[in-house]
Structure 1
Amino acid sequence: MAQREVAATEPGDVGGAAAVVRVSARNGSDGPVDLSGLVVTASLGDGTPAPPTDAGPSEPLAGRLAPGDTRSGSYLFRLGGGRADDLRLEISSASSSTVVVVRP
Protein backbone atom coordinates (compact mmCIF):
# COMPACT_ATOMS: atom_id res chain seq x y z
CA MET A 1 0.00 0.00 0.00
CA ALA A 2 1.38 3.40 -0.95
CA GLN A 3 0.17 6.94 -0.52
CA ARG A 4 0.37 9.46 -3.35
CA GLU A 5 -1.15 12.73 -4.48
CA VAL A 6 -3.58 12.55 -7.39
CA ALA A 7 -5.09 15.31 -9.51
CA ALA A 8 -8.75 15.55 -10.42
CA THR A 9 -9.11 14.39 -14.02
CA GLU A 10 -12.86 14.45 -14.62
CA PRO A 11 -15.79 16.65 -13.59
CA GLY A 12 -16.81 15.79 -10.03
CA ASP A 13 -13.50 14.12 -9.26
CA VAL A 14 -11.46 15.33 -6.28
CA GLY A 15 -7.68 15.53 -6.17
CA GLY A 16 -5.56 15.04 -3.08
CA ALA A 17 -4.15 12.20 -1.03
CA ALA A 18 -4.95 8.69 -2.25
CA ALA A 19 -3.87 5.16 -1.42
CA VAL A 20 -2.72 2.77 -4.13
CA VAL A 21 -3.56 -0.76 -2.99
CA ARG A 22 -2.31 -3.93 -4.68
CA VAL A 23 -4.50 -7.03 -4.27
CA SER A 24 -3.47 -10.54 -5.34
CA ALA A 25 -5.85 -13.46 -5.87
CA ARG A 26 -4.87 -17.12 -6.11
CA ASN A 27 -7.23 -19.79 -7.33
CA GLY A 28 -6.83 -22.84 -5.08
CA SER A 29 -9.91 -24.58 -6.48
CA ASP A 30 -10.27 -27.19 -9.22
CA GLY A 31 -12.20 -24.87 -11.55
CA PRO A 32 -11.81 -21.40 -13.01
CA VAL A 33 -12.90 -18.39 -10.94
CA ASP A 34 -14.57 -15.32 -12.44
CA LEU A 35 -12.95 -12.23 -10.93
CA SER A 36 -15.58 -9.82 -12.28
CA GLY A 37 -17.64 -10.33 -9.11
CA LEU A 38 -14.77 -9.28 -6.84
CA VAL A 39 -15.44 -6.11 -4.82
CA VAL A 40 -12.77 -4.16 -2.94
CA THR A 41 -13.89 -1.36 -0.60
CA ALA A 42 -11.91 0.75 1.84
CA SER A 43 -12.44 2.84 4.95
CA LEU A 44 -10.25 4.80 7.32
CA GLY A 45 -9.60 3.61 10.87
CA ASP A 46 -12.49 5.71 12.22
CA GLY A 47 -14.93 4.08 9.77
CA THR A 48 -15.04 6.96 7.28
CA PRO A 49 -15.40 5.52 3.77
CA ALA A 50 -12.41 5.94 1.45
CA PRO A 51 -14.14 6.25 -1.93
CA PRO A 52 -12.53 4.75 -5.04
CA THR A 53 -11.22 7.10 -7.68
CA ASP A 54 -10.03 6.86 -11.28
CA ALA A 55 -7.72 9.86 -10.83
CA GLY A 56 -4.60 7.70 -10.98
CA PRO A 57 -3.23 4.24 -11.63
CA SER A 58 -5.75 1.48 -11.00
CA GLU A 59 -6.16 -1.86 -12.71
CA PRO A 60 -8.82 -3.87 -10.83
CA LEU A 61 -8.76 -7.65 -10.99
CA ALA A 62 -10.82 -8.92 -13.90
CA GLY A 63 -11.35 -11.93 -16.15
CA ARG A 64 -11.21 -15.61 -15.34
CA LEU A 65 -8.52 -17.10 -13.12
CA ALA A 66 -7.48 -20.66 -13.97
CA PRO A 67 -6.90 -23.26 -11.21
CA GLY A 68 -3.52 -22.73 -9.56
CA ASP A 69 -3.00 -19.29 -11.13
CA THR A 70 -2.36 -16.01 -9.33
CA ARG A 71 -3.18 -12.52 -10.58
CA SER A 72 -2.68 -9.05 -9.10
CA GLY A 73 -4.64 -5.85 -9.54
CA SER A 74 -4.43 -2.35 -8.15
CA TYR A 75 -7.08 -0.09 -6.65
CA LEU A 76 -7.01 3.62 -5.82
CA PHE A 77 -8.91 5.12 -2.87
CA ARG A 78 -9.21 8.79 -1.85
CA LEU A 79 -8.02 9.42 1.70
CA GLY A 80 -9.49 12.83 2.50
CA GLY A 81 -7.56 13.82 5.63
CA GLY A 82 -6.52 10.23 6.43
CA ARG A 83 -3.36 8.23 5.82
CA ALA A 84 -2.76 5.10 3.74
CA ASP A 85 -1.34 3.25 6.75
CA ASP A 86 -4.73 3.69 8.48
CA LEU A 87 -6.75 2.12 5.64
CA ARG A 88 -8.98 -0.91 6.21
CA LEU A 89 -9.90 -3.03 3.17
CA GLU A 90 -12.86 -5.36 2.71
CA ILE A 91 -12.66 -7.82 -0.17
CA SER A 92 -15.70 -9.84 -1.15
CA SER A 93 -16.93 -11.86 -4.09
CA ALA A 94 -20.30 -12.46 -5.66
CA SER A 95 -19.53 -16.19 -5.56
CA SER A 96 -18.98 -16.38 -1.79
CA SER A 97 -20.45 -14.95 1.41
CA THR A 98 -16.96 -14.64 2.91
CA VAL A 99 -15.56 -11.14 3.43
CA VAL A 100 -11.82 -10.74 3.88
CA VAL A 101 -10.82 -7.79 6.08
CA VAL A 102 -7.28 -6.43 5.75
CA ARG A 103 -5.91 -3.91 8.25
CA PRO A 104 -2.44 -2.37 8.35
Structure 2
Amino acid sequence: MKPKHHVFVCMNRRPEGHPRGSCQASGSQGTFEAFNTELEKRGMYEQVFVTGTFCMGPCDRGPVAVVYPEGVWYGNVKPEDVSEIFDKHFVDGGEPVERLRIM
Protein backbone atom coordinates (compact mmCIF):
# COMPACT_ATOMS: atom_id res chain seq x y z
CA MET A 1 0.00 0.00 0.00
CA LYS A 2 1.39 3.39 -1.01
CA PRO A 3 -0.03 6.42 0.80
CA LYS A 4 -0.83 9.65 -1.00
CA HIS A 5 1.02 11.62 1.72
CA HIS A 6 3.75 10.64 4.16
CA VAL A 7 4.34 12.99 7.09
CA PHE A 8 7.64 12.94 8.95
CA VAL A 9 7.58 14.67 12.35
CA CYS A 10 10.91 15.43 14.00
CA MET A 11 11.11 13.91 17.47
CA ASN A 12 14.78 14.70 18.10
CA ARG A 13 15.84 15.55 21.65
CA ARG A 14 19.04 17.33 22.55
CA PRO A 15 20.40 18.11 25.99
CA GLU A 16 18.90 21.08 27.81
CA GLY A 17 20.58 24.32 26.74
CA HIS A 18 21.99 22.93 23.46
CA PRO A 19 22.66 25.88 21.10
CA ARG A 20 20.59 24.35 18.27
CA GLY A 21 17.62 23.50 20.46
CA SER A 22 15.46 20.53 19.51
CA CYS A 23 12.01 19.78 18.19
CA GLN A 24 11.24 17.66 21.26
CA ALA A 25 11.94 20.66 23.51
CA SER A 26 9.58 22.69 21.30
CA GLY A 27 6.72 20.23 21.82
CA SER A 28 7.01 17.79 18.94
CA GLN A 29 5.60 14.91 21.00
CA GLY A 30 2.24 16.70 21.15
CA THR A 31 2.41 17.50 17.44
CA PHE A 32 3.18 13.88 16.58
CA GLU A 33 0.30 12.69 18.75
CA ALA A 34 -2.05 15.24 17.12
CA PHE A 35 -1.18 13.91 13.65
CA ASN A 36 -1.95 10.36 14.78
CA THR A 37 -5.16 11.40 16.54
CA GLU A 38 -6.36 13.30 13.45
CA LEU A 39 -5.43 10.36 11.23
CA GLU A 40 -7.48 8.03 13.43
CA LYS A 41 -10.40 10.47 13.66
CA ARG A 42 -10.60 10.77 9.86
CA GLY A 43 -9.82 7.12 9.11
CA MET A 44 -7.31 8.11 6.42
CA TYR A 45 -4.94 5.20 7.07
CA GLU A 46 -4.50 4.37 3.39
CA GLN A 47 -3.96 8.00 2.32
CA VAL A 48 -1.64 9.34 5.04
CA PHE A 49 1.26 7.76 6.93
CA VAL A 50 2.81 9.48 9.96
CA THR A 51 6.37 8.69 11.03
CA GLY A 52 8.49 10.12 13.84
CA THR A 53 12.08 10.94 12.83
CA PHE A 54 15.33 12.22 14.24
CA CYS A 55 16.84 15.60 13.36
CA MET A 56 15.93 17.04 9.97
CA GLY A 57 17.94 20.24 10.30
CA PRO A 58 15.94 23.43 10.99
CA CYS A 59 15.88 22.92 14.76
CA ASP A 60 15.15 26.58 15.48
CA ARG A 61 11.86 26.25 13.53
CA GLY A 62 10.54 23.24 15.45
CA PRO A 63 8.44 21.32 15.76
CA VAL A 64 9.18 20.48 12.12
CA ALA A 65 7.05 18.25 9.89
CA VAL A 66 7.78 17.35 6.26
CA VAL A 67 5.15 16.06 3.84
CA TYR A 68 6.14 13.85 0.92
CA PRO A 69 5.92 13.34 -2.00
CA GLU A 70 5.46 17.12 -2.29
CA GLY A 71 8.50 17.94 -0.13
CA VAL A 72 6.63 20.60 1.85
CA TRP A 73 8.38 21.58 5.09
CA TYR A 74 6.30 22.96 7.94
CA GLY A 75 7.77 24.71 10.97
CA ASN A 76 6.49 25.65 14.42
CA VAL A 77 3.71 23.09 14.00
CA LYS A 78 1.56 23.01 17.11
CA PRO A 79 -1.08 20.35 17.82
CA GLU A 80 -3.83 22.86 17.04
CA ASP A 81 -2.39 23.32 13.50
CA VAL A 82 -2.70 19.67 12.52
CA SER A 83 -6.42 19.67 11.60
CA GLU A 84 -5.77 22.61 9.24
CA ILE A 85 -2.96 20.65 7.55
CA PHE A 86 -5.36 17.73 7.09
CA ASP A 87 -8.15 20.01 5.82
CA LYS A 88 -6.09 22.00 3.33
CA HIS A 89 -3.14 19.83 2.37
CA PHE A 90 -4.56 16.31 2.56
CA VAL A 91 -8.28 16.72 1.87
CA ASP A 92 -9.22 19.98 0.16
CA GLY A 93 -7.19 20.13 -3.03
CA GLY A 94 -3.71 19.50 -1.70
CA GLU A 95 -2.72 23.10 -0.95
CA PRO A 96 0.02 23.58 1.65
CA VAL A 97 -0.74 25.68 4.71
CA GLU A 98 1.37 28.68 3.74
CA ARG A 99 1.51 30.28 7.20
CA LEU A 100 3.41 27.21 8.49
CA ARG A 101 5.53 26.54 5.42
CA ILE A 102 9.29 26.99 5.83
CA MET A 103 10.47 25.30 2.57
Query: Which TM-score applies when normalising by structure 2?
Result: 0.29
Q: Which has the higher strand share?
A: 1
Query: Which TM-score applies when normalising by structure 1?
Result: 0.29
Q: Which has the higher helix share?
A: 2
Highest CA radius of gyration, 1 or 2?
A: 1
